[in-house]
Amino acid sequence: MANYDTVILDIEGTITPITFVKETLFPYVTSGLSTFLDRAWGSKELKNQIELLREQAKKDVDAHSNQAVIIPNESEASAAEIKSAVIETISWQMKADRKIGALKSFQGYMWKEGYESGELRGEVYDDVVPALDKWKADDKKIYIYSSGSVPAQKLLVGYSTKGDLMSYFSGYFDTGVGLKTESTSYKNIARQIGKENDTEHILFVTDNINEIFAAAKAGYQVVISDRPGNAPLGPESKNYKIVTSFDQI
């Protein structure tokens, strides 16, 4: 790649296997939810999280969303009824792979406990840390841009299979700056990191071709990450550099 002084990395399919999210993180929530609710019941944090889900559920019911159920208030229902509605709410939203704030927040809340207890560790490919070391040694700034929430990103890299990697990263971005398939999102990030007029010195690495198009349109340099288990690359990817390991960047 030509001169670049800033690297922005995707997570899923780029530094982390897609299977980690689908086969470890998501099942951790669905299979552990009931015992988690029993364990955390009565805590202020759980109350806050349920309130977020409750507000979202009300919006969904008002919008006549098929599977949406109301989560009753504590004054009008038993703990068992509230828990059951919470489980139903999370279950249908996760099956639909919904990217909604209240759900993401709840997932992050559960994952935090899993990471902190050592039950979860963010899977990071072997070739990633040597590349991070090299970029650091070359004084390049490194950021994350992922559709997972910023708190979830920090947990994954903070409690990773390669140790705490947080010191490598100068910042984290999620869909708060916009969708990953829209070029304005990449312009927003560039503005936030002081590189609004210098996007050609930013390198973005991701597995998703639509994200590649969007970042390239914003003037970024781009590299496609082709990892085991990723979606097959189409003919349109041939115009870009494709790597199967970070040492090829």
Q: Binding site for substrate: what residues are annotated?
A: 146-147, 180
- DSSP class of 227: -
Residue 22 or 47 with smaller CB distance to Mg ion: 22
- Applying CB under 5 A, does 174 fall inside the site for Mg ion? no
Q: Which stretch in 26-34, 89-97, 151-159, 201-209 sits in contact with Mg ion by CB under 5 A?
A: 201-209
Binding residues for Mg(2+): 10, 12, 207
Binding residues: 10, 12, 146-147, 180, 207
Number of chain residues interacting with Mg ion (CB under 5 A): 4
Among 6, 8, 13, 53, binds Mg ion (CB under 5 A): 13
Q: How far is CA 89 from CA 53, 71, 106, in A?
A: 8, 8, 11
Tokens 């109301």 correspond to what residue?
A: 70
Q: Which stretch in 3-11, 23-31, 75-83, 105-113 sits in contact with Mg ion by CB under 5 A?
A: 3-11
- Applying CB under 5 A, does 182 fall inside the site for Mg ion? no
Residue 12 or 182 with smaller CB distance to Mg ion: 12
What is the C-alpha separation between 25 and 97, in angstroms, rounded?
A: 13
Minimal CA–CA distance to 135: which of 81, 192, 202? Answer: 202
What is the C-alpha separation between 71 and 243, in angstroms, rounded?
A: 46
Minimum distance, C-beta of residue 12 to Mg ion, in the bound complex (Å):
4
Among 6, 9, 12, 111, binds Mg ion (CB under 5 A): 12
- Applying CB under 5 A, does 226 fall inside the site for Mg ion? no
Q: What residues form DSSP beta bridges with 144? A: 9, 172
- DSSP class of 228: T
Question: CB-based burial of residue 202 (10 Å sphere; 0-12 exposed, 13-18 middle, 19+ buried)?
Answer: buried
Q: Which stretch in 45-53, 105-113, 137-145, 206-214 sits in contact with Mg ion by CB under 5 A?
A: 206-214
Please check whether residue 156 is in contact with residue 162, taking contact to mean a CB–CB distance below 8 angstroms. no
Q: What residues form DSSP beta bridges with 163? A: 160
- Applying CB under 5 A, does 17 fall inside the site for Mg ion? no
Among 9, 10, 165, 221, binds Mg ion (CB under 5 A): 10
Residue 60 or 182 with smaller CB distance to Mg ion: 182
Residue 68 or 144 with smaller CB distance to Mg ion: 144
- Applying CB under 5 A, does 60 fall inside the site for Mg ion? no
Q: What angle do CA 38, 42, 47 make, to 5 degrees?
A: 100
Please check whether residue 247 is in contact with residue 127, taking contact to mean a CB–CB distance below 8 angstroms. yes
Give the Cβ contact number of residue 11 at 10 Å: 24
- Contacting residues toward Mg ion, per CB under 5 A: 10, 12-13, 207
